[in-house]
Each structure stands twice: as C-alpha cells, then as structure tokens.
Amino acid sequence: MTEILGRRPALSFLICVGLFLLTLVLPLNDYVLHILTLSLIFAIFASGWNLTLGILGLKTLGHHAFFAIGAYLSAIAAFYGGVSPWLTIWVGAVLAALAGLLIGLPILRIRSMPHVAIVTLAFAEIVRLIFSNLKDITRGELGFWGIPPFDPVSFGETTIRFGLGNAWGSFILVGLFFFAVQGGLLLLLRSRPGLTFAAIRDSEAAAESLGINFGAWKLAAFALSAGIVGLSGAIYAHYVMILTPTSVAGPEMLITLLAIIIVGGAGRFFGPLYGALLLTGSLELLREFGDYRMLLYGALVIGFVFVAPQGIAGLKFDRLRRRRGHGTNESSSSA
Amino acid sequence: MTAPLFLEMAINGLISGSIYALVGSGIALVYGTTRVLNFAHGELLMIAGYLVLFFAVTLGWNVLLASVVTLALVGSIGAAIQRITIAPLLAREDWAFRVIAATIGLSIFLQSGAQIVWGEQFRTLPYFFDGVVSLGGLRMPVQRLSILVIALLLMGLCALVLYRTSLGRIVRATAQDAEAALAVGIPAGLVHTSVFAISAVLAGAGAILLSPILTVNPWMGVSFLLKGFAVVILGGLGSFGGAVAAGFLLGLIEAASVMVLPTEWRDVVAFTFLIAVIWVRPNGLFAGREA
Amino acid sequence: MATYTKGPVAARRILALMLLAGTAGTAQAQDVSIGVIGPMTGPAANTGTAHREGMELAVKEWNEGAGDYVSDEPPQVELVVEDSNSKPEVAIGAAQRLMTRSDVDMIIGDTLHSHVTLALMEMAPQYGVPILSAEPVSSAIADKVLSDPERYALYYKGNYNSDGYGKAVHGFYSWAFENDVVPEGDKTIAFVVEDTDYGIANAEKIGELFEADGWTVAATETTPTGTTDFYPQLSKLRGLDPDILVSVFTLANSGISFVRQLDEQALEASHMAIFYPTRPEFMEQAPDIADGMFWAALQFSPEITPEHQAFNDRIEAEFGVSANYSHAHAYCTMVVALRAIDAAGGTDADAIASEIGGTDYDCLVGKYAFGEDNTVQSGPDFIPVPVAQVQGDASQIIWPENVATAEPQ
C-alpha cells in the first residue's frame, strides 16, 4: 500500500490542501485560475481512472466514455429538466457508474489485455457516436450550448457565482470537489476495502484463496472508478457550459488523460494531481504554439514510458525509499 | 430497393471491407508473432498517403513507381518503429501496457508531426484508373473496383508467403514459441522486425488504394485503426485468415447498416457488433486457427 | 498591426504572464483592441486565413489613415486573432482568453461557422462584450436573437439569413422553368448537405419555398463535415431520381469529391451547389468536373467588377495571394466594426452595439444594414445573392437577369 500512497499520504494530502488555500490569497488573474480549475477537474478524472488502471490493475482505455456520460447526462437533466446542477451532477455520476457496471461485466470476464483495451476503446467510440448522433437532444458536434452553471451560493452579504466568467468561485468549487474526492479515496484505500484492492492487484490467486470474492470487488471498484470520472465530467459540463462529443470523448481527451496518468505516475495516489497540474498548467501556457501542443503530449508519453515509467510520483517515492534504506524489493510495477 | 442497388451496396461493403482486411491482417500478423498491439499502425496508413501524394502529385511520378517507392519506405518506417520504440520495451516488466502507452504516444506524435509538416489541407490524389463499369442499373467506377481486386491480390500474396515459403514457416514458428525458435537458430528479433515491415506495407497499400477516394489528412489513420482492431478481435487475436474474413464481414455489416439506418449510425452498429461478439465468443468468430 | 501570435511574441507573452499574473498589461499604444475568432487551423483553415488577411488589411488601412472614418479622431486599433479550429468549445476557450488575457473591447467571431457562432454568442451576455459574427448564415442564429432580444442585445450577425439563399435558389429555378433553361419534371427536390447548422438551415429554407409550390422533398442527406465519400448517399439518390439536387458544403474538398462522384454516378438532376464554389480550390478543378453547374452565390468577381479587382490588388500587394469572397466579406465585416467603434467614441459595449445596429454602409459585396433580428439583410436593396453557372474556365452570373453577365448554357 505504501507503494501506491507514498509514505505519509495524510501529510501529503494536508500539504496539498494548504497549497490550495495559499493559492486563494494570491492575486491570480482569471486566466490562471481558469487553467488551475481545468487542471483540478482533470485531476479528478485521472484519480478515478487511476483506480482502475493503476490500483486495480485493469488496463482500460475508454474512461473518457464515462466522462462524456457524466457530462452530457448532467447537462441534459439540467437543461431540459430545469433541475439545479447541484443535483444533476450526482445523476451524471450515478449513471456513469451504472454504465461502468454494464461494460465492466464483459471486460472483467476477459483477462487478456488487448481485449480489455480494444473493447473499452470501442465502447468509448460508441458513446461518442451516440451523443453525436442524438442531434435533437445534444446538437451533436455542433455543440450543446446553454448548459446552466452551478447556482450561485450566498453567504450573508457575499454571493459566489460559478461557471465561465466567474473564475474565482469556480476555482474554489472545483477545489472542494477535488479534495472531497481525494480525501474519500484516501480513507477508502486505507480501510479494509482498500487493502482488498491491493490484494487483488498483487495476487489474484492468493486473494481468491483467502476467500475474497474479487469478481464483485472488481466490479464495484470499476463502477466507483466510472462514477468518479462521471462526476468530473458533470462538473466540467457546468463549468465550461458547452459540450461537443469530440471534446469530451474524442481521442484528444484520451491522450490528454493518458499523459496525465503516465507523467504523474500510474497507480500512484498523488500521480494524477502532479500530472494534471504539470500538463494542463504548463502546456496551456504553450497554447500559443498550438500546433506543437499535441506533439509535446505524444513525446512526453513516449519519454516517460521509456525513462520514468513510474511517473513523477514514482520518482519521488523511489528516492525517498532509497534514502531511508528500505529493501530493493522492486514493485511489481504498476501492472 | 432494386436489385442493382442492393448489389451496389454489397460491392461498396466489400470494398471498404477489403481495406479493413488489409489493416486488420497487418495488426493480426504483428500481434500473432510478437504479442504487441501497435496503436501507431493507423499512422503508417497516413504516412503512406502523404508519401504517395508527394511522389505522384508533387513530383509527378508514374503512379506505379510512386506506389512501389512508397511501400518500400513505409515498410522501412514500420521496421524502424519496431526497432526504436517497441523492441527496447519488450525486455522490461509490464511491457504489454508500456507498449500500448508508448505507441499511443507515438500515434499522437506522428499525427501532430504530419499536421506541422504537411499542414491541414485535406488532399486527394487523381484517379489511377478512369472509366465507370455500367452493368444494368449498376454503376461502379473502375477506381473503386480496383481497390477490391488489388487488396485481394495483396492478401493472397501475403498468405502465400506465410503458408508456402520458408520465411512463412519461420514467422509461424516464432509466433508459436519464440524461445524454441531461437533455440533452433531463428533470430526472433529479425523476424519481429520483418513482420512489422510486412504489416506496414499492407497498411500502406490500403492508404494508396484509398487516397484517390478519401482525403489524405493527418487523422486519416484513426478510424481505420479502430476498425482494424475490431477486425482483429472479431477474427480471433493474431489470426491472419480470421482478420481477413472478419474485415470483409465488417464491411458487409456496415453496408447493410447504411441501407437500413442513417449513415451516421454505421460505426455504432459496427462497434456494438464487436462488443456483442465479445460477450458470446471472447476468442473471436473463427477461434481455433493460428497465424 | 495585427498579431497572430507565434514565436517571439508568444514567448514574451508567456514571460509576462508568469511575471505578473494578475496585474494589468503593459501600456498599449492602441486605443481599442478587437479580438477575432475563426478557423485558423483545421479543415477550414484556408477560409480562416482569408478572413484573417481581409481583416488585417482593413485594420492596417484604418490605422494608416486610409480608412473610411466616421469621426475626426478615429482610434488606433489592435487586432488579436485566436483560433476556433472549427470547434465550438475551442472558440469558447478562445473567447475566454481574449477577455481575461488580451482584454479586448469587441469580438468578431466566428468568422465562418454558424454552429460555432451559436455557442460563441452566449459569451456576449456572459462577459458583456459586443460580438459580431462574419460569414455565418444559419437562420437559427437570428431565431435565437429574436427569442430573447435583451439577452443578445450585444450580438450582431454580419451576414444574411439562410432564406437569402432560399430566395435566390427558388427565384432562380422559377425563372429557369419559365424560360426552359431547366425542365421542371415531376417536382421532386433532394438535398445533400454538410451536417452543420449552415447546411441544415439552407436545406430547410430552400425546401420550404419549393414545398409551397407543390414540390416534394425526396431526401435530405446530411454528411459529417469533411466527408469525401458520397457513394452511399448518391446510390440512394439515384434510386429516388430527383429533378433538382442541392448540395451545401463549406469545405472545398467535400465539394470537389461530391461533384466528381455525382458525375460518375450520372444523376440526371439539375445540380445547384451552395457556398463551396466560392473557394478557389474548387474553381481550380471545376472546369473538368463541373462545367455547366449552377451555384450560389457569386458575390465576388474581380473579372467582372472593377471595385473587386481593386480590392484584389490591395490583398495581393499585402499578402501575395489573390482575393476571394471570404477576404472581401471579412474586410467589410471589420470595416463595419471599426466604424461602429469610431462612431461610439469609446469602448462602451452598449454604445458600440447600438452603433453596429445603426450601420448603413456600402461595402464591396453590397449594402450593410441590420434588421430587427440583429442580422444583415439580403436582397437587391441590400446584399444581393446572385446565381452563377460554371462556363468553361470561369463562372458567370446568370440570375437575376439585370446583373447577369452571360446567358445560361
């Protein structure tokens, strides 16, 4: 478990919260806040996917389908149903989790990695095409606009507004969601179910011989992972207030998130945060070099796979471990 | 729907199916021999498209010469990709996922690279063959029919090499047991590289056949990669013959779906068919045959 | 000077951003800055580039004292161009950068796409910034303005509605049937259009006008933007055998492939093409595959109109390319914006918007005046929409008769 969480997860978590609070008092302009907000949304996405990819050890490539499901269904419920986004995001998350159950069943039966990778990828393509084709509801690639932002919240005199154009409020809101998800996952991973995840990952046979019904556990973990990704999609929808199927479920989303996971460290608890901040943040600054942005993403993924397959979080861990003189019991990798 | 129209749809299905078969059989060949899933396979298609465009249009070469040079270059590029990015990873732990991640990275890298080098013009080659075959109510340009014929010839040639030559025996031996093959003196590394080259040539041939009809653009490989993967799974991972058969089947299913449903649902039907098959027959439709 | 930022400029900006996140930008020599959002990359990049060049020329002439000013002290103007990549969500991101980082006073966008504009116009109330779209045509945009005029008070549409095309196509065919240019047949019409608001709105408007005359719409086939294989659609249409076939694409490549495959499939319908023949890439190939084809709308023709030739020379001198319709339309849209800002005498959003609304100005392609739906009006008194025919190497206007340059063949 140390390998996943790092040595002092609670402390690292508190440091992150502290840094977040510090950001709030800095005189950041709207543009920087916007980038940080996007980073945190992608960090939630990556944490959810990480649960399956790294921690559960299932190499899926279609989690952007759940992002799209969460985003579109929450947006549809809010736009057509007139329901407040504060409620619809949970609808989006739950429906994404249900979709996770649906696709989780066949892929958990197949153990072969190519099958899992291709089937999940095909599933994401189906989801993208469905949202793209249901034009009467979603307008397809022409863009689903008019998605309401989160309703404003008032504390006495001050009213906090959200959505594009209200950078400060959006950043605080997304930050709260991020820490709630991270905190919840942290508690979960350190509890009995968390240890079960680790057991599944390390040795399915051994876990099975201990009488753990890992089929159900795996399915539950997969649904949770899909639900978290769905939640991040729903938050995204009500922040940017416009969706297109390609922007949420296209190949660019896959590569962006894969890069975040690989650069941050697949299977490492804090990997997604590092990856998201580094990639969304620094590469957004390079947006002026528009054409070269995806080139850089591709090169980064290849580079990290070769040079630092454990990602940034892994680097730190290895160094710490060596300094503290722990055994060289090399992890069974993030497999 | 009239009979000629029905026939026309079926031929259209076989034509796109032949491209899926070309792409899919290449992926299957590589997977069968090396257990590697190459997510940059689609970009070989794209590179071949730009190369043939360059030779045949920019330099104005004869189409046959341009095609041969393109195929030779794409074959070498395929071999280089295997040597530089895939072979070094195979020795490491957890290589299967690392290869997937690295080739996805490579795929995006090549797409954006192409976009920077060649711009975003959607370009098309002039037709190689003029004329339209008109039979009863059926009209089909020779250019389109030639895709089917040439693709069949190429895959037949490939099958001949695989099953009737000593090179083919070596490849199949490596596929069954790389270590045993090595023990009897077959250099597995070299075999892997040549298999990549062959699969790249198959993809390149697909691109050359398509380029007068579809546009050459940086993203042209993406949809064919997904279809190629679907074909490989449907045909039974690693089976060359299975992939060819599944390719034509997928093409026909798509053509049938276009007849019944609006065009935009075609790929939904294709991929749903894939997932349905996985539920029922995880080892593919034609399980039991190997490369 | 326009800044389509690349290279050193970009590096400087990043540095500035890192150093002083939050504080106001460095002092600017310009009084007003205008943001432009258009497809600078992606499949429609050719058109986007033409828009950028047209607008840069307008701003350059304006800043150098060669503009058509309203006041005695016209402001100096800075142009900031952002890319929409033909995607609505990218355009929203671009608008956000223009507002929070470049601090622009007005946005022109999207320069080409209706569907991008439908999303982008939401930014006008969100940020309180005037937005003027350039080439987008779809009536859905104007309908949206009419549905909530107060909300979209800051938004204006710099091109006429889809019914501009509808009336032209319908008017032309009525005339053509009367004069035996085209046989009427059994009154069926079919559409193959790109799957955008532009394509769909055109098909709807044209279909409505023909249906009112007792025609039947046999099929409306939509294809994703960038489609180049039309065999499934054409096979189906050959079975339906329509009398008129209308095709609408914004990408020249789709148009070229469509026209070529139409030729192979030997459909007997009279073919009317919309928009894509304005693209020079199409016209290069047209003599081989499109001889005799009808199309709308020929609004820019240096060969015929001296004023257009003069504009072409200015574009050529500045950018080394020949001008097309998109250059001209973008140029005029920018001039409308510049004059409105000049007349408003400041950067107040409401004042600029109201000045745009009061525009009454003759530019290259016709007279710009906005209707109640904040949309430029079409027709003989405003912006005319003539129908042309490909005749040999060139296109000739064949309708309306009073401006025709040749007889239909």
Q: Does C156 fall in a domain?
A: yes
Q: Where are the beta strands (DSSP E) in C85-223?
A: 106-109, 131-133, 155-157, 188-194, 216-223
pLDDT tens digit sequence for A19-62: 888 877 787 778 888 888 888 999 999 999 988 876 677 888 99
Q: Which residue has the tokens 């249901």?
A: A134
For residue A290, the chain C residues in CB contact (below 8 A) are: 41, 83
For residue A140, the chain C residues in CB contact (below 8 A) are: 195
Instruction: Tell which wins on pLDDT, C348 or A106.
Output: C348
**pLDDT confidence bin for B170, thresholds 50/70/90:** confident
Mean local confidence (pLDDT), A65-93: 96
Is B139–C265 a contact, with Cβ atoms under 8 angstroms apart?
Answer: yes
For residue C256, the chain B residues in CB contact (below 8 A) are: 124
Among B43, B104, B266, B267, which would you mutate to test the A interface (most chain A Cβ atoms within 10 Å of its Cβ)?
B104
Chains that touch C (3 or more CB pairs under 8 A): A, B
Instruction: Tell which wins on pLDDT, C114 or A286.
Output: C114
Among A61, A111, A305, A334, which would you mutate to test the B interface (most chain B Cβ atoms within 10 Å of its Cβ)?
A305
pLDDT at A22: 81
pLDDT higher than 90, residue B27: yes
Mean local confidence (pLDDT), A94-106: 92
Is A241–C88 a contact, with Cβ atoms under 8 angstroms apart?
Answer: no
Specify whether C9 is located in the same domain as C145: yes
What is the CATH T-level fold of the domain A2-246, as seen in this structure? ABC transporter involved in vitamin B12 uptake, BtuC (1.10.3470)
pLDDT higher than 80, residue A282: no
| CA–CA dist B67, A171 (Å, integer) | 54
- A279 burial (CB, 10 Å; 0-12 / 13-18 / 19+) is buried
| CA–CA dist A51, A31 (Å, integer) | 31
| CA–CA dist C297, C135 (Å, integer) | 13
Specify whether C156 is located in the same domain as C252: no
Is B132–C229 a contact, with Cβ atoms under 8 angstroms apart?
Answer: no
Specify whether C15 is located in the same domain as C143: yes
Each as own residue / partner, the long-range contacts of residues C363-371 (CB below 8 Å, 24 or more positions apart, any chain) are C363/C331, C363/C332, C363/C335, C363/C336, C364/C300, C364/C307, C364/C308, C364/C311, C364/C328, C364/C331, C364/C332, C365/C299, C365/C300, C365/C325, C365/C328, C365/C329, C365/C332, C366/C299, C368/C158, C368/C332, C368/C336, C370/C156, C370/C157
| CA–CA dist A259, A274 (Å, integer) | 11
SS (H, E, C) C318-335: HHCCCCCHHHHHHHHHHH
Cα R_g (chain C), whole angstroms: 21
CB neighbourhood size of A216 (10 A): 10
Q: CB of A66 within 8 A of CB of A229?
A: yes
> Which of C404, C383, C378 shows the shortest CA–CA distance to C176?
C404
b/e per residue C91-101 (b: at least 16 CB within 10 A): bbbbbbbbbbb
Mean local confidence (pLDDT), A205-226: 76
Specify whether C151 is located in the same domain as C275: no
pLDDT higher than 50, residue A124: yes
pLDDT higher than 70, residue C13: no
Is C195–B2 a contact, with Cβ atoms under 8 angstroms apart?
Answer: no
Is A118 touching B (CB cutoff 8 A)? Answer: yes
Residues making up chain C, counted from first to last: 409
For residue A244, the chain C residues in CB contact (below 8 A) are: 87-89
Inter-helix orientation angle A251-264/A64-81, to 10°: 120
Specify whether C66 is located in the same domain as C116: yes
For residue A132, the chain B residues in CB contact (below 8 A) are: 264
Q: Does C380 fall in a domain?
A: no
Domain assignment of residue C184, given as a range? 163-301+385-403
Is A115–B265 a contact, with Cβ atoms under 8 angstroms apart?
Answer: no
pLDDT tens digit sequence for B95-120: 888 898 899 999 989 998 998 888 76
| CA–CA dist A67, A87 (Å, integer) | 17
* Helices within C2-87 (DSSP H only): 7-19, 45-63
pLDDT higher than 60, residue B290: no
Nearest chain B residue to A127 by CA distance is B268
Q: Does C375 fall in a domain?
A: no
pLDDT tens digit sequence for C90-102: 888 899 889 988 8
Mean pLDDT of chain A: 82
Q: CB of C63 within 8 A of CB of C76?
A: yes
For residue A131, the chain C residues in CB contact (below 8 A) are: none
State both tokens at A209: 């011989």
pLDDT higher than 50, residue C10: no
Element counts in chain A: helices (H) and strands (E): 17, 4
pLDDT higher than 90, residue C343: yes
Is C115–A240 a contact, with Cβ atoms under 8 angstroms apart?
Answer: no
| CA–CA dist B35, B29 (Å, integer) | 9
Q: What is the DSSP letter of C370?
A: B
Specify whether C398 is located in the same domain as C277: yes
Q: What is the DSSP letter of C149?
A: T
CA distance A85 to chain B (A): 30
Mean local confidence (pLDDT), C50-54: 96
Mean pLDDT of chain C: 88
Specify whether C68 is located in the same domain as C157: yes
pLDDT tens digit sequence for A311-335: 777 765 555 555 544 444 433 333 3
Total structural domains in chain C? Answer: 2
**pLDDT confidence bin for C26, thresholds 50/70/90:** very low
| CA–CA dist B78, B67 (Å, integer) | 16
Is A132 touching B (CB cutoff 8 A)? Answer: yes
- Count CA within 13 A, CB hemisphere, residue C27: 1
Q: What is the DSSP letter of C41?
A: S
Q: Which residues contact B248 (CB under 8 A, 6 or more apart)?
A: B14, B17, B18, B20, B21
Instruction: Tell which wins on pLDDT, A164 or C244.
Output: C244
Specify whether C256 is located in the same domain as C389: yes
CA distance A274 to chain C (A): 19
Is A117–B85 a contact, with Cβ atoms under 8 angstroms apart?
Answer: no
pLDDT at B247: 95
- Say how many Å lie between the first and final Cα of chain B, rounded: 40
pLDDT higher than 80, residue A203: no
- A135 burial (CB, 10 Å; 0-12 / 13-18 / 19+) is middle
Those residues of chain B whose CB sits closer than 8 Å to some CB in chain A are: 31, 37, 85, 88-89, 92-94, 96-98, 100-102, 104-113, 115-116, 222, 226, 229-230, 232-233, 237, 262, 264-265, 267-268, 271-272, 274-275, 278-279, 282
Q: CB of C328 within 8 A of CB of C106?
A: no
pLDDT tens digit sequence for B195-239: 999 999 999 999 999 888 888 888 888 889 999 999 999 998 878
Is C41 touching B (CB cutoff 8 A)? Answer: yes
The predicted complex's ipTM stands at 0.90
| CA–CA dist A225, A66 (Å, integer) | 9
- Say how many Å lie between the first and final Cα of chain C, rounded: 47
Specify whether C35 is located in the same domain as C145: yes
Mean local confidence (pLDDT), C327-350: 95
**pLDDT confidence bin for A2, thresholds 50/70/90:** low
CATH number assigned to the domain comprising residue C154: 3.40.50.2300
pLDDT tens digit sequence for B38-51: 999 999 999 999 99
Instruction: Tell which wins on pLDDT, B184 or C12.
Output: B184
Residues making up chain A, counted from first to last: 335
For residue A28, the chain C residues in CB contact (below 8 A) are: 21-22
Is A255–B104 a contact, with Cβ atoms under 8 angstroms apart?
Answer: yes
State both tokens at A227: 């639900």
Q: Does C229 fall in a domain?
A: yes
Q: Does C246 fall in a domain?
A: yes
Q: Are strands C366-369 and C188-194 parallel, antiparallel or unpaired?
A: unpaired
**What amino acid occupies position B185?**
G
Q: How far is CA A59 from CA A55, A63, A116, A118, B99, in A?
A: 10, 10, 7, 10, 12
Specify whether C271 is located in the same domain as C342: no
Nearest chain B residue to C228 by CA distance is B214
Q: Does C376 fall in a domain?
A: no
pLDDT higher than 80, residue A7: no
pLDDT higher than 60, residue C309: yes
Is A134 touching C (CB cutoff 8 A)? Answer: no
Mean local confidence (pLDDT), A261-281: 82
